Structure 1
Amino acid sequence: MSYRISAPDEYLAITGAGIRTVKITKSAWVWPLQRCVRFSVQPRDYAMDLQAMTREKLNFKLPTVFTIGPDLNHRDGILNDDDGGARDDGTTTTSTPAPRPGAADRSSAPTALMKYAMLLADSGDTTNSSSNRDQQVAHVESIVKGIIEGETRVLVSSMTMEEIFTEREVFKRRIFRNIQGELDQFGLKIYNANVKELRDAPGSVYFESLSRKAHEGATNQARIDAAEAQLRGNVGEAKRRGEQDREIAKINADTAVQKTERDVERAAAEAKLSTRQVAFRRDVELARAEADRALEAKDEELRREVERRRAAAETERLRGQVVVKATIERESAQQAADAAAYETAAAARAAAEGRQRQADGEAYATRAAADAHAYAETQAAEADAVRRVKEAEGIAALAESYAKMSAAFGGPDGLIKWLMIERGTYVELAKANADAVRGMAPKISVWNTGAAPANGQQQDPTTTMRDVYQMLPPLMSTIHDQTGITLPEWQFGRVAAQTQAVGKEPKANGDA
């Protein structure tokens, strides 16, 4: 007695005492008078190059590869425990269990494996040697290839070449179904069926012709497709180019319109700017002209003042001579007056001391009055301070308003111009300028001192002095007319007499 365990890809087939047919299990106790055989359940590939004939009597080669192995999913029985007893649903035989110690081991028993085990038993050798395994594989292979070859030829003979060639999947399913039906009786299953490319049999050029035809047809069709694609490409390219040209023309037109609008807006802005610049320039020129006129009037006034002061200084100089004489007389009188004044001062000091005492009495009253006045002035100053604070707040608010107005008028220059217009400053300036020049009747004096000697003759040395004396009377008259100052009669008369005497002097060398 021994305990047998199969490999993961193997099963144990046990026959003998207590087993009516075959017991399939993964592990079991093998009792005396029982035989145990291991068999593999790995699927195997069966590659075949079949030569078949269609319904049109056309020979061809059909390369196929089938992956076939025992059907492990078909189970309809349950094995008994390790003593070899088995129990099923009626499709398999049962055996009487042999008595043995130990627990029972129950597992599933696939009927397909029993069929496969019986197929292996038909090989004649039941040992576990390697030669036995090769013999079993060869036996199964011969049976499987025979089934595949027979069913394939039967199926091919009922179909045309066109059906086999065009309906490849249908052909594959029919082969699979027919072969699987035959393999079921041996407990085998097709795990995969691969039908390779059909080939010509020796002496046949059917598939070669079909291939050449298909190749030529594909080439011609490719050329047609290429020509159609090129045609569509050329048409599409031309269409796209036309659309591109239209879009570009549209964009260019829109750009030109926008550029024209911007040019118009820029021209309008420049015209507005030029107008405002001309207006500002006109205002500046007017203000400058008015300032120039005011400056000229001021200069004229200052010039008149200078002339007036110069004439007054000359008058004072002339009067100084008289004053010196009067000063000497005054000093003499002053000495006499000083003596009298000393006496008067003594009397005044006495009177002053009396008045001082009286003033001291009045000082107290004055200080009291001064304190009251100071308090009143303090109250008035505080009231004035409050008033000035309010005025400052008003000025601040006014400054803030002026700041906003300055921002609105474009800056302080615009605000100043607006204020001058609002308050009539320009009108007042115009009136002042008009008043400055109104009533002016300047008297212009022209003195001619004679022409210079011609032909290289020398000038009379007394001519210059004579010309100066001749100029003085009109000059004094002009000073009197413009300033109202009149020279002393004795001085003016002397100058006039000298001028007349100079004019009556006989000329030298008998000149008239």
Structure 2
Amino acid sequence: MEAANQAKVDVAEARKKGEIGSKEREGLTLQNAAKIDAETKIYATRRGGEGRMAEIKVKAEVKVYENVREAEVAEANAELAKKKAGWAMEAQVAEVEATKAVALRDAELQKEVERMNALTITEKLKAEFLSKASVEYETKVQEANWELYIKQKAAEAILYQREKEAEAQKAIAEAELYARQQVADGEFYAKKKEAEGLMALGQAQGAYLRTLLDAVGGNYAAMRDFMMIKSGMFQEIAKINAEAVRGLEPKISIWTNGGGEDGHGGHGAMKEVAEVYKMLPPLFKTVHEQTGMLPPAWMGTLSDSHSTNSALN
């Protein structure tokens, strides 16, 4: 019976362990599956975000490239339009010159025809037994007409020359105007860059002051004292006071700690440091008298007594 009971106990224990192990396996399986699903979702979301970021970046670069190309095309079109205008003007000038040349040649031929007609008429009149006076009169008339014609052509040539000179002056004026416009554009660009530089300098100084103020915990007095020390304002004030009292007999207080020797009668290694600290009380007092500003608490306090021990904490 004991063996049978022990067998029942062993079976029950084995069944318990089997059921517990099965539940643990199922729980671990569910946990691992949930963990894998979460990691998969995170990875998919991350890859999707990176893909969208890359797509946005590519679109921005394409847009920038398109804008640059449009600007280049517009510039090329403007340059082509300018060249076409110049070519059209040259063609018109050549056409006018050709028309004037044809007119001049026609006038010369007409003059020759009229001269030959005059000679023919004169000979005909002579042949028809006109009197000498009539022939001379006709000849004089023809000569007068000829002179008048020459004067008219000369006047037309002078007018044409003046028109060409006016056109040349107009072209020179346009070139000078274009050059002035280019100079003005260059000056405007230089002024613009100078203004941008000043703005950048102001922004940098503002960032420096904000950083310095944050470093001292927002204490404006500490920042002011730091900047005064860094810029050498205390030394400058001392120099100005020294120049102001030069040649006078001012009341001068000598700050000392009982001589330049240590307690044993010799010169200690901290003598130079002590000398520096000896100069601070009168310097702070002078600054307080001149500006009304007190030194920061971490450097020392001023008092109305003349003792050395109460000058510095």
TM-score (norm 2): 0.34
Structure with larger RCO (C-alpha < 8 A, sep 6+)? 1
Query: Between Structure 1 and Structure 2, which shows a larger proportion of helix residues?
Result: 2
TM-score (norm 1): 0.22
Q: Of the two, which has the highest radius of gyration?
A: 1
